[in-house]
């Protein structure tokens, strides 16, 4: 009887789906809201592998780019250079995940989690020649995460959880501008997306 109950409990949690909401604070900008989804498959009752996708959006002024623009001959208008450096980013990390859980009390588990994958960054920025016009570019980088948290079992097929995770990636791309004298200047734009995520979520088993 005990073996049957254990087998049933593990099978009931063979697959999982989680929605996560929280706060992400990357180095490149101020922090903000982040939303994510994680799908998983249980190898056993305390070890899960899966995949995740998140979305983070932020608008900010790239101060380092303003400084570089100010060094271009004939481009000393700080207000215009701030307009040129306005940046709108959409981050979509696609990660493979693995999570190990450890029972600590009735219905409670602690867990550690690690992820590897690709960080996709969609950048909307103002044209140097005409700051009122938008340009769009994509940047990519290898990304990894490491973190932990705790979960509380609500029922046979659901739980709530909280986690703190460190994300590491720095997508970059080469940015060319032409000054008033027709000279081309090349900048390496780096977006340090490294920082901590603090999130809560709900997970369902099926």
Q: What is residue 89's three-state secondary structure?
A: strand
The pLDDT of residue 31: 94
Name the residue with tokens 């100010």: 70
The pLDDT of residue 155: 92
C-alpha neighbours within 13 Å on the C-beta side of residue 112: 2
Q: What is the mean pLDDT of residues 53-79?
A: 76
The pLDDT of residue 144: 98
pLDDT class for 13, splitting at 50, 70, 90? low
Query: Quick count: other Cβ atoms within 10 Å of Cβ 26?
Result: 22
Residue 165 near residue 145 (C-beta atoms within 8 A): yes
pLDDT for residue 68 is more than 50:
yes
Q: Give the residues across from 74 on adjacent strands.
A: none
Q: How many angstroms separate the first and last alpha carbons of the chain? A: 22
30-39, 66-75, 170-179: range with lowest mean pLDDT: 66-75
pLDDT for residue 57 is more than 90:
yes
pLDDT class for 74, splitting at 50, 70, 90? low
Distance CA(103)–CA(161), nearest Å, equals 13
pLDDT class for 51, splitting at 50, 70, 90? very high
93-142 pLDDT tens trace: 999 999 999 999 999 999 999 999 999 999 988 777 777 778 888 999 99
CB environment 163-202: b (16+ within 10 A), e (fewer): bebebebbbeeebebeeeeeeebebebebebbbebbbebe
Q: What is the DSSP string of 130-144?
A: -TTSEEEEEEEEEEE
The pLDDT of residue 189: 81
The pLDDT of residue 149: 98
165-184 pLDDT tens trace: 999 999 998 877 776 677 77
14-28, 73-87, 134-148: range with lowest mean pLDDT: 73-87
């Amino acid at each position: 009887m005990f073996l049957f109950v254990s087998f049933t409990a593990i099978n009931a949690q063979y697959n999982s789906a989680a929605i996560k909401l929280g706060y992400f604070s990357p180095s490149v900008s101020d922090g903000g809201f982040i939303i994510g989804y994680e799908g998983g498959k249980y190898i056993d009752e305390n070890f899960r592998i899966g995949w995740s996708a998140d979305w983070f959006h932020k608008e900010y002024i790239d101060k380092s780019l303003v400084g570089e623009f100010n060094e271009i001959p004939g481009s000393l208008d700080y207000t215009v250079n701030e307009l040129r450096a306005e940046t709108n980013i959409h981050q979509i990390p696609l990660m493979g995940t693995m999570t190990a859980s450890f029972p600590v009390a009735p219905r409670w588990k602690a867990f550690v989690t690690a992820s590897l994958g690709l960080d996709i960054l969609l950048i909307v920025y103002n044209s140097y020649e005409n700051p009122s016009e938008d340009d769009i570019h994509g940047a990519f980088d290898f990304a990894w995460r490491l973190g932990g948290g705790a979960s509380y079992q609500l029922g046979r097929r659901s739980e709530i959880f909280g986690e703190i995770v460190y994300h590491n990636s720095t997508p970059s791309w080469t940015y060319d501008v032409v000054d008033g004298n027709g000279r081309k200047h090349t900048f390496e734009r780096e977006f340090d997306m490294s920082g901590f995520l603090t999130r809560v979520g709900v997970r369902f088993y099926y």
